[in-house]
Amino acid sequence: MSTYNCWMLQPRLPWHLDFARRVDQHRPVTIDRLDGLSPADRHALAQSIATFQVGEHGEGEHLLSAASESQATERYKDALSMFIVEEQEHARLLGLVLTAIDAPLRTSHWTERVFVMLRRLKSLRTEVLTLLVAELIALSYYSSLSRGVPQLAPVFERICEDELRHIDFHADTLPRHLNQWSPAVRMAVRMLWNVLVTGASVVVAFDHRKALRVARVSPWRFMQDVWSDRQGLDQRLFA
Ligand SMILES: [Fe+2]
Ligand SMILES: [Fe+2]
């Protein structure tokens, strides 16, 4: 079940202040018990989490320079910098999980390379739209693991809460940039974006099916979660 649509109704601070008050909030997190997970479960989780860990630890240089080129405000760029730090913090937390499982970190994965290539196609708008595909996928993935693997819930609940805010942040700040496109271009981009989300959800549901099975989430259920969130976000970005 999607939680995105409830979250976006809550009032909040301006984004640069919201990010600033949460700096270092995850520092105290530790993982001390993994009992009840079989070796096969641990292996499936390790393979899957290592892939997401790769995707979380980008430096964000291209995103920040795209923001500068689009004449974004200083407040937006500050918020964006702290957003990138939060994503790196997710990489650190996922690294803790992998260490607890006694699994190695990955250095790259083909899905991450495809996302990076797509994000760098043109501008801040295309970069953030592609980023939002990854955010939607990540939200359903982390919320599946937080509900289905209680041993790891302290980590995944925190990451999930951040991902909800990230989607909200981009949904608040991106439409003014999208409105610079003509209605015809916006409609074409909207269709492409929806196709991209759908395609990515199918690939991830298949690629990570063993970890989702540990969380007792079927690939179909995972895809439905992503599609439900996609509908709400599509309305906010393009309607
Ligand atoms: Fe993240
Ligand atoms: Fe995120």
* pLDDT the model gives residue 1: 46
* pLDDT the model gives residue 113: 72
* pLDDT the model gives residue 104: 78
Ligand 2 centroid distance, CA of 38 (Å): 29
Q: Does pTM surpass 0.85?
A: yes
* pLDDT the model gives residue 7: 52
* pLDDT the model gives residue 103: 81
Q: What are phi and psi of 171, to 5 degrees?
A: -70, -30
Ligand 2 centroid distance, CA of 163 (Å): 4
Ligand 1 centroid distance, CA of 163 (Å): 6
Name the token pair of 93: 């937390």
* pLDDT the model gives residue 124: 87
In this structure, which ligand is nearest to the CA of 89?
1
| Blockwise average pLDDT, block size 10, the chain, 239 residues | 52 87 89 86 95 87 86 92 95 94 78 67 84 96 96 93 96 90 91 96 97 97 97 95
Ligand 1 centroid distance, CA of 200 (Å): 16
Task: Please give the torsion angle defined by the CA atoms of residues 104, 211, 167 and 130, in that order, rounded to the nearest 10 degrees.
Answer: 70
| Distance from C-alpha of 76 to C-alpha of 62, rounded to nearest angstrom | 15
Instruction: Return the residue matching tokens 């549901």.
Output: 205
In this structure, which ligand is nearest to the CA of 166?
2
Ligand 1 centroid distance, CA of 171 (Å): 16
* pLDDT the model gives residue 235: 96
* pLDDT the model gives residue 21: 93
In this structure, which ligand is nearest to the CA of 164?
2
Secondary structure (DSSP) of 84-137: HHHHHHHHHHHHHHHHHHT-PPPS--HHHHHHHHHHTSS-HHHHHHHHHHHHHH
| DSSP conformation class of 216 | T
* pLDDT the model gives residue 3: 55
Q: Is 24 left (phi over 0), alpha (psi -120 to 50) or beta?
A: left
In this structure, which ligand is nearest to the CA of 55?
1
